[in-house]
Amino acid sequence: MPSDAIRAALISRLRVSSGISEDDVKEIEALPISVRQFPAETPVVRDGERATDCCLIVDGFCVRSKTISSGKRQILSIHIPGEIPDLMSLFLHVMDHDLTTLTPCTLGFINHETLRKLHHRRVTLAEMFWRDTLIDAAMFREWIVNVGQRPAPARLAHVMIELRERLRLIDRVDGSSFEMPLTQEQIGEALGITAVHANRVIKQLRQDGIVEFHRGRVTVLDEPKLLELADFDGRYLHQSPTL
């Protein structure tokens, strides 16, 4: 895979959400990144491990999750190409959750030391990574509200719209449909409901003519209804650079 393709999604994200300068684009293009392939459903970094690199998703989908002693797993966030889900490990070295692939993934590892040097060399890039982790925190706040307060159909609708709005930044939305490669079991783990109930919720959205969900792909049939159901206000994603 050519070097520019490895960085393309990251750069296009930073371009639209942070207004990156051309000098900083060159810095990222020059970053040493070691690329590895991962199969689906494979841990990248585990809870309790000490991380030495940050992981850029070049291609594929990942999730962050925590598993409690009973064995139940809570999915905390879904991650897409161009994101660095474990950026915080640069300062919080011991992982406090798992990072796992959902689909087969191409992952790029950036050494902590080189990333730290980059921070010192380019303050504007450091600020962009700051901003990125703050948005990450904002997304967690929204996720808590979603799982803690919304009824199950709204939870699903909200996760779907958020994922779509993030996929849009990297040009991965195809008209009214986009990828959401989770099984119903995993949707349950993300929403805090059982797989059986996840199935009922999906069925209801289908019957109400709001979305179709089939083999990891969402097709929106009724956008206004979906927005209303999800109670979605995308401000927390902070997708345009500072007003």
In the complex, the residues that contact DNA under the rule CB under 7 A are 151-153, 183-185, 192-197, 199-203
Phi, psi for residue 49 in degrees, rounded to 5: -75, 155
Token couple for 229: 């159901």
Compare residues 119 and 197 and give the one whose CB is closer to DNA: 197
Q: Give the shortest CB-197-to-DNA separation in angstroms.
A: 3
Compare residues 82 and 153 and give the one whose CB is closer to DNA: 153
Decide if 26 contacts 121 (C-beta within 8 A). Answer: no
Q: Give the shortest CB-57-to-DNA separation in angstroms.
A: 20
Q: Give the shortest CB-158-to-DNA separation in angstroms.
A: 13
Compare residues 181 and 241 and give the one whose CB is closer to DNA: 181
DSSP 150: S
Q: Give the shortest CB-189-to-DNA separation in angstroms.
A: 11
Compare residues 121 and 200 and give the one whose CB is closer to DNA: 200
**HEC-encoded secondary structure of 196-226:** HHHHHHHHHHHHCCCEEEECCEEEECCHHHH
The CA distances from residue 224 to 33, 142, 209, 218, in Å, are: 42, 20, 11, 16
Compare residues 51 and 187 and give the one whose CB is closer to DNA: 187
Overall residue count recorded for the chain in this entry: 243
Q: Give the shortest CB-184-to-DNA separation in angstroms.
A: 4
Q: Give the shortest CB-151-to-DNA separation in angstroms.
A: 5
Compare residues 58 and 229 and give the one whose CB is closer to DNA: 229
| Nearest alpha carbon to residue 178 among 168, 187, 186 | 168
- Give the list of residues 6+ apart from residue 192 with CB closer than 8 angstroms, or none: 74, 147, 155
Amino acid at 37: Q
